[in-house]
């Protein structure tokens, strides 16, 4: 069965992914099963998407109920799930307005447009440059790729959207050096994900916020991977005492349905995108918004944020012990349930493949980081099981 599916996929799909030789069939809790019945402990969560794991009580039922009512309307009409999801997202973020998208990449596109429109309204188009960070990753569409600070992603598709400069993450002087009279915005991930799991230094993030305030620049914080409870708060920036002008989110926002959003503060909401400036056919349809609304309900009812905060020290301690024990681990870094182990003296892909053989799903980040972004509902027992399986891969 596995070979039949894999061969058919290779004959049918455009080869833009080097997939692992596994055909996943179903999920239950924090475990996945392939078509041959093998069980995998999932510490990747679909790349930080399935925050509640699989078949979390109440989630499936909410989606099935919405399927029986209405899937799609377009944005030419109102519907209750969009309002409910929007209110809950704004309550969690304490921001002003939301635009729902189909993905994180689309959320970035909307955020960039909103930032440039704000500057256009203020200056008539004389300010348009955007400062992004080296080692960042914001997506693969042309706009998102333009602000992604990793050359090998960008180079085959250049020339990209112009007016983008790159500074060094966690280096405030580097950001200052890129600011000119043409600058309109700064975009960064609160915790860099694909670049290697680098949390922002508090002084850096506060310094960037101050620069933006002084020069009336738009601060865009990308919370697509690090948001929705992954660091123990709804959004990682909430732990820094810093507020963005625009925030992007996706991934765990819908726990598996394709949904993202960009969220604006009152200043940007009043003076940026207007009717006709932006749109989407599918974004914010009743089905995905029912999922978003239910995710927020389940987070609150089951104290998911508190659970992540409570269990983070145990996860960090387990990973620190592995780093002390095995010389191939150079260091651990991360926040909450977004952790990375820097692997040396062997390819990180080798560890990922070996873990898969042992029934553990983990992924990589950057060129040498083993990334662990499990469902937010894991327990101590799951962490112990992960450690046991990972040890077999590191020996």
Alpha-carbon gap, residue 295 to 52, rounded angstroms: 8
Alpha-carbon gap, residue 141 to 160, rounded angstroms: 10
Mean pLDDT, the chain, integer: 97
Alpha-carbon gap, residue 105 to 123, rounded angstroms: 27
**pLDDT computed for residue 256 by the predictor:** 98
Among the listed residues 161, 203, 164, 170, the one whose alpha carbon sits nearest the alpha carbon of residue 186: 164
Paired tokens of 1: 């069965």
The pLDDT of residue 13 is above 90 = yes
**pLDDT computed for residue 288 by the predictor:** 98
Paired tokens of 294: 């239910």
If you ran DSSP here, which 8-state letter would residue 251 be given? G
**pLDDT computed for residue 195 by the predictor:** 96
**pLDDT computed for residue 395 by the predictor:** 87
Residue 39 makes CB contacts below 8 A (sequence gap 6+) with: 31, 32, 33, 359
Provide the pairing of β-strand 97-101 with 260-264.
Answer: antiparallel
Residue 69 makes CB contacts below 8 A (sequence gap 6+) with: 286
Residue 77 makes CB contacts below 8 A (sequence gap 6+) with: none
Average pLDDT score over residue span 27-46: 97
Average pLDDT score over residue span 271-280: 97
**Total-model pTM:** 0.97
* pLDDT tens, residue by residue, 166-222: 999 999 999 999 999 999 999 999 999 999 999 999 999 999 999 999 999 999 999
Position 74 confidence tier, pLDDT thresholds 50, 70, 90 = very high
Alpha-carbon gap, residue 185 to 130, rounded angstroms: 5
Cα–Cα distance list, 287 to 67, 68, 164, 340 (Å): 7, 10, 36, 34
- CA 304 to chain CA centroid, nearest Å: 17
DSSP 3-state of 392: helix
Among the listed residues 252, 291, 288, the one whose alpha carbon sits nearest the alpha carbon of residue 376: 252
* pLDDT tens, residue by residue, 291-339: 999 999 999 999 999 999 999 999 999 999 999 999 999 999 999 999 9
- CA 128 to chain CA centroid, nearest Å: 26
DSSP 3-state of 199: strand
Print burial letters for 60-98: b (CB count within 10 Å at least 16), e (below 16).
eebbeebeeeeeeeebeeebebbebbbebbeebbebebb
The pLDDT of residue 1 is above 80 = no
Q: Would you list the domain boundaries of the chain?
A: 2-56+303-394, 70-301
Question: What is 2-56+303-394's CATH number, 3.40.50.970, 3.40.50.1000, 3.90.1150.10, 2.60.120.650?
Answer: 3.90.1150.10
The answer to whether 169 and 135 are in contact (CB under 8 A) is yes
Alpha-carbon gap, residue 174 to 194, rounded angstroms: 21
DSSP 3-state of 160: coil
If you ran DSSP here, which 8-state letter would residue 255 be given? B
Among the listed residues 355, 349, 343, 357, the one whose alpha carbon sits nearest the alpha carbon of residue 386: 355
Q: How many helices (H) and strands (E) does the chain have?
A: 14, 17
**pLDDT computed for residue 2 by the predictor:** 84
The answer to whether 161 and 138 are in contact (CB under 8 A) is no
**pLDDT computed for residue 3 by the predictor:** 87
Report the share of the chain in percent with pLDDT over 70.
Answer: 100
Average pLDDT score over residue span 11-27: 95
Alpha-carbon gap, residue 317 to 332, rounded angstroms: 10
Fold exhibited by the domain 70-301: 3.40.640
Helix orientation angle between 286-301 and 59-67, rounded to the nearest 10 degrees: 160
Element (DSSP H or E) covering residue 294: helix 286-301
């Amino acid at each position: 069965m596995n070979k039949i599916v894999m061969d058919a996929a290779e004959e049918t799909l455009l080869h833009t992914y080097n997939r692992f030789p596994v055909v996943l069939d179903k999920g239950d809790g924090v475990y996945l099963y392939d078509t041959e019945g093998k069980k995998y402990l999932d510490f990747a969560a679909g790349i930080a998407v399935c925050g509640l794991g699989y078949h979390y009580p109440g989630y499936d039922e909410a989606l099935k109920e919405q399927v029986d009512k209405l899937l799609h309307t377009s944005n030419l009409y109102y519907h209750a799930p969009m309002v409910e999801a929007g209110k809950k997202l704004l309550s969690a973020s304490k921001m002003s307005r939301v635009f729902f998208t189909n993905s994180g990449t689309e959320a970035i596109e909307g955020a960039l447009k909103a930032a440039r429109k704000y500057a256009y309204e203020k200056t008539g188009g004389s300010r348009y440059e955007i400062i992004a960070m080296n080692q960042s990753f914001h997506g693969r569409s042309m706009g998102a790729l333009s602000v992604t600070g990793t050359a090998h992603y960008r180079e085959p598709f250049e020339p990209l959207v112009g007016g983008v400069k790159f500074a060094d993450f966690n280096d405030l002087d580097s950001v200052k050096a890129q600011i000119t009279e043409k600058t309109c915005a700064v975009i960064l991930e609160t915790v860099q994900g694909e670049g290697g799991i680098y949390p922002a230094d508090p002084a850096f993030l506060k310094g960037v916020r101050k620069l933006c305030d002084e020069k009336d620049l738009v601060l865009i914080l990308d919370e697509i991977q690090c948001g929705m409870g992954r660091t123990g708060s709804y959004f990682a920036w909430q732990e820094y005492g810093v507020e963005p002008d625009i925030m992007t989110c996706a991934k765990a926002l819908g726990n598996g349905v394709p949904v993202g959003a960009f969220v604006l503060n009152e200043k940007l909401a009043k003076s940026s995108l207007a009717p006709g400036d932006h749109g989407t056919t599918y974004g914010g349809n009743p089905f995905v918004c029912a999922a978003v609304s239910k995710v927020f309900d389940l987070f609150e009812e089951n104290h998911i944020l508190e659970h992540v905060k409570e269990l983070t020290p145990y996860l960090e301690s387990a990973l620190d012990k592995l780093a002390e024990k095995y010389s191939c681990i150079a260091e651990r870094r991360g926040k909450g349930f977004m952790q990375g182990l820097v692997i040396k003296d062997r390819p990180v892909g080798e560890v990922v493949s070996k873990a898969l053989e042992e029934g553990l799903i983990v992924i990589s980040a950057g060129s040498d980081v083993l990334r662990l972004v499990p469902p937010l509902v894991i327990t101590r027992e799951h962490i112990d099981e992960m450690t046991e399986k990972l040890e077999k891969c590191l020996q």
